[in-house]
Each structure stands twice: as C-alpha cells, then as structure tokens.
C-alpha cells in the first residue's frame, strides 16, 4: 500500500511541474500566450520573446525596421514583403521550403510558410507566421525536430489562437 501511495505522490508531483503558458502583453498592439520560461530581448527596430517546451522552440518578434516603405503599400506590396521574409529565412538557414499559404490572424492577413533546416546535425521543421499590424512587422516561429513536429500541434494552435490584436 505504501508503494502505491508513493507512486501516486510521484505522479501527482510530476504532473504539477508541467509547463504552462500565460497571457503576455508583447507591446501596445499585441497580446500573446508565451511559455513560462520565456526570455525577452531586443533586436534592431524591435524585440522578441523566446521560450522552449520539450523540444519545441517558440519565438515571437517584432520590428519596425523598413516599415516606412510599407505604409502606402497595396496587396501586391504586402505579398512582396511576405515573399521577402520567406526568401530571407530560406537563404539564411539554407532551408528547403515545404509549403506556403496566406492565413488570417483575427481579421489580419498573415503569411504562413513551413520549411526544413539542419541544426546541430538534426533535421528540423520551422513553421513561420508573418504579418503586419499598425505598421510593425511581427513573426511567430515554431521550431522542432521534423520527426516529432506533429506532437506540438496543440501547443501551436493554443498560442496562435491566443493572439489578440488591439
């Protein structure tokens, strides 16, 4: 009986240490759920938050760098911007494009593209969501081992659906 109680206590304590997400006011425009261990930093013209859950790396970042050129842009200019983001990511990572599509985040057009890359000798998959809101570009990236990528779908969906554009 004692062993059963110890096993129950062990299982209960392990499940209580599971990582959680919480609502985070990223800036004046966006609130998003982030992981408990998220770190925050600055990049040229913006900022980022980065967290890890199991093998999944989640990065959300913003930048207003070069956005002055987008202020009067039409649909073709927006697609050109999205293609530039995709091309830059593929070139810098030496990645291979898997898919691309236009999606909606709330009522805002976003560009989703998926690609594979090799990191530390392992093949990884990256799903990137890029969008412009209030003249600031935002991107959300999910990175995980290609073989186990589907296991993180619930986490990705939860974070994507948590985005609130103000």
Q: Is residue 86 part of a domain?
A: yes
| Distance between CA atoms of residues 13 and 9, nearest Å | 6
Which is higher by pLDDT, 36 or 8? 36
pLDDT at 70 over 80: no
Q: Taking residues 19-47, report their average pLDDT.
A: 92
- Judged against a pLDDT cut of 90, whether residue 123 lies above it is answered with yes
Asked, for residue 7, whether it belongs to a domain, the answer is no
What's the mean per-residue pLDDT of the chain?
A: 87
Residue 47 near residue 60, CB atoms below 8 Å: no
CA pair distance 86, 8, nearest whole angstrom: 48
Mean pLDDT value across residues 149-165: 95
Residue 72 gets the label, from left (phi > 0), alpha (psi -120 to 50) or beta, of alpha
CATH number where 44 lies: 3.40.1000.10
Could you give the CA distance from residue 163 to residue 149 in angstroms, rounded to a whole number?
Answer: 21
CA distance linking residue 77 with residue 116, whole number of Å: 26
9 in a structural domain = no
Residue 134 is assigned to a structural domain of this protein = yes
CA 120 to chain centre: 20
Three-state SS at 65? coil
Question: Which residue, among 131, 133, 138, 134, has the nearest Cα to 63 in the 3D structure?
Answer: 138
Please state, for a pLDDT cut of 90, what percent of the chain lies above it: 72
On whether residue 63 sits in a domain, the answer given is yes
Q: How confident is the model at residue 20 (pLDDT cuts 50, 70, 90)?
A: confident
Assigned domain for 36 exists: yes
Q: Is 136 helix (H, G, I), strand (E, B) or coil?
A: strand
Q: Is residue 4 assigned to a domain? A: no
Residue 125 has pLDDT above 70, yes or no: yes
The arithmetic mean of pLDDT across residues 121-137, rounded, is: 95
Chain segment 42-51, per-residue pLDDT in tens: 998 999 999 9
Sign for the pseudo-dihedral over CA of 101, 107, 109, 111: negative
Domain tally for the chain? 1
CA–CA separation, 107 and 67 (whole Å): 20
14 in a structural domain: no
- Residue 119 domain boundaries: 20-165
User: Confidence band (pLDDT; 50, 70, 90) for 1?
Assistant: very low
Residue 104 has pLDDT above 60, yes or no: yes
């Amino acid at each position: 009986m004692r062993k059963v109680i110890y096993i129950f206590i062990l299982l209960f304590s392990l499940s209580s240490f599971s990582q959680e997400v919480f609502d985070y006011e990223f800036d004046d425009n966006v609130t998003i759920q982030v992981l408990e261990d998220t770190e925050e930093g600055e990049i040229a013209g913006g900022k980022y938050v980065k967290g890890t859950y199991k093998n999944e790396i989640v990065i959300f970042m913003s930048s207003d760098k070069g956005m002055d050129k987008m202020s009067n842009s039409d649909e073709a200019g927006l697609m050109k911007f999205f293609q530039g983001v995709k091309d830059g990511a593929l070139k810098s990572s030496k990645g291979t494009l898997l898919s691309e599509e236009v999606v909606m985040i709330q009522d805002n057009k976003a560009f989703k593209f998926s690609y594979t890359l090799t990191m530390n000798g392992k093949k990884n998959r990256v799903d990137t969501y890029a969008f412009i809101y209030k003249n600031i570009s935002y991107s959300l990236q999910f990175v995980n081992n290609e073989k186990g990528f589907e296991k993180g779908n619930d986490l990705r969906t939860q974070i994507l659906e948590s985005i609130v554009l103000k």
